[in-house]
Amino acid sequence: MENSQKIPLLNWRKVLIPPSTKILEAIKIIDEGSLQIALVVDDHNRLLGTITDGDIRRGILNNITLDSPAQRIMNPRPVFARINDAQENILALMKSKELHQIPILDENNCVAGLEILDELIQLVKRENVAVLMVGGIGSRLRPLTDECPKPLLKVGSKPILETILDNLIEAGFHRFYFSVNFKAEMLRNYFHDGSRWGVKINYLYEDKALGTAGSLSLLPYRPSIPFLVMNGDLLTKVNFNQLLKFHQEHKAEATMCVREYTFQVPYGVAKIENHRLVDIAEKPIQQHFVSAGIYVLEPEILDFIPSGAYLDMPELFQFLLAEKKHVATFPIREYWLDIGRMDDLERAKFDFTEIFE
């Protein structure tokens, strides 16, 4: 079978887990292996369900804690094939169901193997365009940004934007647009046309600040498939392939990456009904999902972006919600840091060697 690969016995057995396994341990199994799946089985290796990255992120959005049993987030009705099925039929089933992995069961419903498409373990060039927003002034990082645009500030051995570019190239992206304004020529002089990295970089020049969404109106043509938009001051290990897969699986018109943000109120919080005090919560912890500055958009979303007008991404998403568009959220559980302030930059320098080298 040309487009798939039989997984050696020892490899697929590593992703078998009992239903009592903590979700955090399931995450490690999925992230550390090349198979991108965990198979939940009983004591006799009978398949109970499957867990993929998407199942984990949906669990996070539903506030299921990572120390909960994996059974809580597994898909209890997974698609599977039989051990005697022809490989051509298995491939056809995977394509029809848009599956990247499929467990192989014997006559007793015990796991006997796993089939996985080559694209999960081999780099495939993506035709999705990536637009990086790198035109900001970076005023909170002055005086460092007085003479150098923020994306060119070095963290570790290279500029912030070069690390972002490397991560996207690793995920298969090779067509880029840099939206530039402040000190645009410094950025262009460093990255040129991208040939040094084996990719193509074009530039969107903002004559005036257009915001994190407004400069998309400068794209010279409308992409034919979903495209990525990302702020150029983020360091993250988010799985971009999983992000695009999530967007497509949910048939979203726009997907916003979100990050869990937790803070503790430093006071006792009073709960009041009319004039009566009914409860006091002492220094409660608040948890919210906040925008992470990474988005996937369908091409038709460009219709909502006026030409030459200032527009930030939160405003664009408000418009989409008002128009009843299908907007999804993708929770980032990997490393993520927005380098907006001086202490963020110092933290990035501290983290860089361990996370990115």
- Report strand pairing: 254-264 vs 327-331: parallel
* Confidence tier at 3 by pLDDT (50, 70, 90): very low
**Can 283 be counted among the known catalytic residues?**
yes
Tens of pLDDT, residue by residue over 210-262, are 888 999 999 999 999 999 999 988 888 888 888 998 898 889 999 999 987 77
Q: Render the burial of 223-241: b for 16+ CB within 10 Å, e for the rest.
A: beebbbbbbbbbbbebbbb
Tens of pLDDT, residue by residue over 284-302, are 777 777 878 999 999 999 9
Global pTM exceeds 0.75: no
The whole-number pLDDT of residue 251 equals 92
CA-CA distance, 308 to 216, in Å (whole number)?
Answer: 10
Amino acid of residue 77: R
Residue of 283, 324, 325, 349 marked catalytic: 283
Give, as one character, the DSSP assignment of residue 8.
P
Q: Which residue has better confidence, 72 or 138?
A: 72
* Confidence tier at 87 by pLDDT (50, 70, 90): low
- Which domains are seen in the chain, by residue range? 4-120 (3.10.580.10), 130-356 (3.90.550.10)
CA-CA distance, 223 to 227, in Å (whole number)?
Answer: 7
Tens of pLDDT, residue by residue over 111-144, are 888 887 654 334 457 889 999 998 777 566 666 6
* Confidence tier at 181 by pLDDT (50, 70, 90): confident
Tens of pLDDT, residue by residue over 192-216, are 999 888 899 999 998 888 888 999 9
Mean pLDDT of the chain: 83
3-state class (DSSP) for residue 298? coil
Q: In a 10 Å sphere around its CB, with 0-12 CB exposed, 13-18 middle and 19+ buried, how is residue 285 labelled? A: exposed
Contact between residue 110 and residue 82 where contact means Cβ atoms under 8 Å apart: no
